[in-house]
Amino acid sequence: MLVWDNLRAHLMSQMRAFIEANADWLAVFQLPAYAPGLNPQEGIWALLKRTIGNLAAANLDQLATAVKRSLKEIQYRPYLVDGCLAGTGLITGS
Domain boundaries of the chain, sorted by first residue:
1-34, 35-94
Give the pLDDT of residue 43. 87
93 falls in which pLDDT band (50, 70, 90)? low
The pTM for the full model equals 0.57
Half-sphere exposure of 14 (CA within 13 A, CB side): 3
* Residue pLDDT, tens place only, 8-22: 776 788 888 998 999
User: Which amino acid is present at 32?
Assistant: P
Query: Does the pLDDT value for residue 94 go beyond 60?
Result: no
Residue 2 is predicted with a pLDDT of: 77
Note the pLDDT tens digit of each residue in 36-61.
777 788 888 899 998 888 889 899 99
Burial class (CB in 10 A: 0-12, 13-18, 19+), 43: buried
CB 18 within 8 A of CB 10: no
Strands 28-30 and 2-4: parallel
What is the model's pLDDT at position 35? Answer: 72
Dihedrals phi, psi of 24, to nearest 5 degrees: -70, -25
Backbone torsions φ then ψ of 21, nearest 5 degrees: -70, -20
